[in-house]
Chains A and B, each alone.
Chain A
């Protein structure tokens, strides 16, 4: 569904992604692990075109992101993104955070958008919070709203950038729960995470990134129990 070929990304003279090749299949959950600064976020952000690609190509559902004729807004609406720091819109109610995209991008009527959004909020366990502002929510609740907001666009794929890293430990479970539900429904997902338990349980495949390259990839049990690459071994041993 998504094919990444020899992806390079530089910020000025610093090359952050040094040739990434990856494929994400439909309904697959791909977990990306690796040390901080290895380029995991940048990789996700390239898939959503939040960063301009320096070289290489990403093809989503047959459409190349390098094609100058591509409608970036249309593409982004099909790729959901969940950020580490939630990035909810603080000046809008929870409900309006979710309805904004469907109404403004897809032109859905307010009534239909609200119905859709209330369903999604219920799904992430937050229907009672629809009319409050994000400021009054806990981190775990905020992140579930962010998931609902992304889902409201009916994306083909969901990207998660360390969705639980900014949460208090006792709130991590709720967010991972919502992600598991999503995975079980067959959503295609790319998840950058430090939650090895989640990667092991839900991941169909795990990518280990280091210094802008994919060092190792494979099924979770292979990566975690029998890592081949020295850097992977070092990284995993530090986590334990």
Chain B
């Protein structure tokens, strides 16, 4: 035990893992950003659909949201990468599959964020918009959405952090993000402790500043 401790400090793996961390983190960030970006588009569409008076539109959105929220993202990724590609004979790259999985997964949670954000705006705002003659689309675009979006920023940031961590499961589809690369490193060096600490740090270096930043925005929006 004691020996192990001294060994840790002098371990060459701190430095040796670095190139893999940097390379993997790049892909992690790409998948997260692109995935959450499309997730936001999906989420906006389905979130607004949840507010629709049409039972069909509401129903479709509800099915999507509940199916995604009711299954683990690991299963969604496996389904997409193996089952869907087999069945339809489409060959996704792991990168495409990862981005689609994040988009679909984050989209469902963002849909609820969008719905909550829009519902949180006082009804009088829409009525004031309608009473000057704006159509419902114009009222959404110029009056409701800008105000709702502001309220969505903190939960969206939160979802970004969740999605970032979720990308780690794409190791199972051999997407070369940071967790996958560290597991490979562990596999070839048989060293576990330092590489996995480095892996934790790799996530924390993104998530902790993001959380601090978010809290600051939150405080500013409160005023």
- Report Cα–Cα, A73/B136, bound state, in Å: 9
- Report Cα–Cα, A100/B138, bound state, in Å: 10
Cross-chain contact A87 with B122 (CB below 8 angstroms) = yes
Known: A87-B125, A104-B142. A50 touches B130 (CB 8 A): yes
- Report Cα–Cα, A81/B146, bound state, in Å: 23
Which residues of the partner chain A approach B125 to less than 8 Å between Cβ atoms?
Answer: 87, 89
Q: Which residues, 109 to 154 on B, are CB-close (under 8 Å) to A? A: 122, 124-125, 127-135, 138, 142-143, 146-147, 150
Which residues of the partner chain B approach A85 to less than 8 Å between Cβ atoms?
Answer: 124
Cross-chain contact B127 with A73 (CB below 8 angstroms) = no
Contact of B132 (CB < 8 Å), options: A90, A91, A150: A150
Cross-chain contact A83 with B124 (CB below 8 angstroms) = yes
Residues of B in contact, count (CB < 8 Å): 18
Cross-chain contact B146 with A76 (CB below 8 angstroms) = no
Q: Which residues, 72 to 99 on A, are CB-close (under 8 Å) to B? A: 73-74, 76-81, 83, 85, 87-91
Known: A100-B142, A104-B138, A104-B142. A87 touches B132 (CB 8 A): no
B interface SS class? helix
- Report Cα–Cα, A73/B133, bound state, in Å: 5
Cross-chain contact B130 with A83 (CB below 8 angstroms) = no
Which residues of the partner chain B approach A104 to less than 8 Å between Cβ atoms?
Answer: 134, 138, 142
Known: A85-B124, A87-B125. A153 touches B146 (CB 8 A): no
Which residues of the partner chain A approach B131 to less than 8 Å between Cβ atoms?
Answer: 48, 50, 76, 79-81, 150
Cross-chain contact A88 with B134 (CB below 8 angstroms) = no
**Chain B residue at minimum C-beta to C-beta distance from A88:** B128
- Report Cα–Cα, A74/B135, bound state, in Å: 9
- Report Cα–Cα, A77/B142, bound state, in Å: 16
Query: Is A149's CB within 8 Å of the partner chain B?
Result: yes
Tell me, rounded to whole Å, the shortest Cβ–Cβ distance linking B211 to chain A. 26
**Chain B residue at minimum C-beta to C-beta distance from A45:** B127
Known: A83-B124, A87-B122, A87-B124. A105 touches B143 (CB 8 A): no
- Report Cα–Cα, A69/B174, bound state, in Å: 59
Residues of A in contact, count (CB < 8 Å): 27
**Chain B residue at minimum C-beta to C-beta distance from A83:** B124
Contact with A along B175-192 (1 / 0, CB 8 A): 000000000000000000
- Report Cα–Cα, A74/B134, bound state, in Å: 9
Query: Is A101's CB within 8 Å of the partner chain B?
Result: yes
Q: Which residues, 35 to 93 on A, are CB-close (under 8 Å) to B? A: 48, 50, 73-74, 76-81, 83, 85, 87-91
Cross-chain contact A83 with B127 (CB below 8 angstroms) = yes
Cross-chain contact B133 with A77 (CB below 8 angstroms) = yes
Cross-chain contact A91 with B127 (CB below 8 angstroms) = no
Tell me, rounded to whole Å, the shortest Cβ–Cβ distance linking B143 to chain A. 6
Contact with B along A207-218 (1 / 0, CB 8 A): 000000000000
Which residues of the partner chain B approach A89 to less than 8 Å between Cβ atoms?
Answer: 125, 128-129, 143, 147
Contact with B along A90-124 (1 / 0, CB 8 A): 11000000001100111000000000000000000
* Given pairs A78-B133, A101-B134, 12 additional interface contacts (CB within 8 A): A73-B133, A73-B135, A76-B132, A80-B131, A81-B128, A83-B124, A83-B128, A87-B127, A89-B147, A101-B133, A150-B131, A150-B132
- Give me the interface of B with A, judged by CB distance under 8 Å: 122, 124-125, 127-135, 138, 142-143, 146-147, 150
| 16 A-B pairs (CB sep. < 8 Å) | A50-B130, A73-B134, A77-B133, A80-B131, A83-B127, A83-B128, A87-B125, A88-B128, A89-B128, A100-B132, A104-B134, A105-B132, A105-B134, A106-B133, A150-B131, A152-B132
